Amino acid sequence: MDQNILDNIGGQDRQELLRLLNEFILQSYKVEKEFKDYKALYEWVIEILPQAIWVINENKSFFTRTARRLRAKKFLKRQRL
């Protein structure tokens, strides 16, 4: 924020602004925690699936892959021999 704007905000308005900013920060922490929890759940669900899974980004990097993919990869290598 521009310092002039902050200087022109009165005492009560400044306190309200600080309260709202603090509330916004706390809410963003909650959203971040929820996101991490949902990501962990997603990874857990993907990992318990019986199939080997690769999820590939457009740039060919891996978004996620399961541990079963290692067994599938070894199996596919053996089949090529």
47-71: pLDDT as tens digits = 787 776 777 788 888 766 666 666 6
pTM of the model: 0.56
3-state SS of the chain is: CCHHHHHHCCHHHHHHHHHHHHHHHHHHHHHHHHHHHHHHHHHHHHHHCCCCCEEECCCCCEEEECCHHHHHHHHHHHHHC
- Statement: residue 36 has pLDDT above 80: yes
Instruction: Give the model's pLDDT for residue 28.
Output: 98
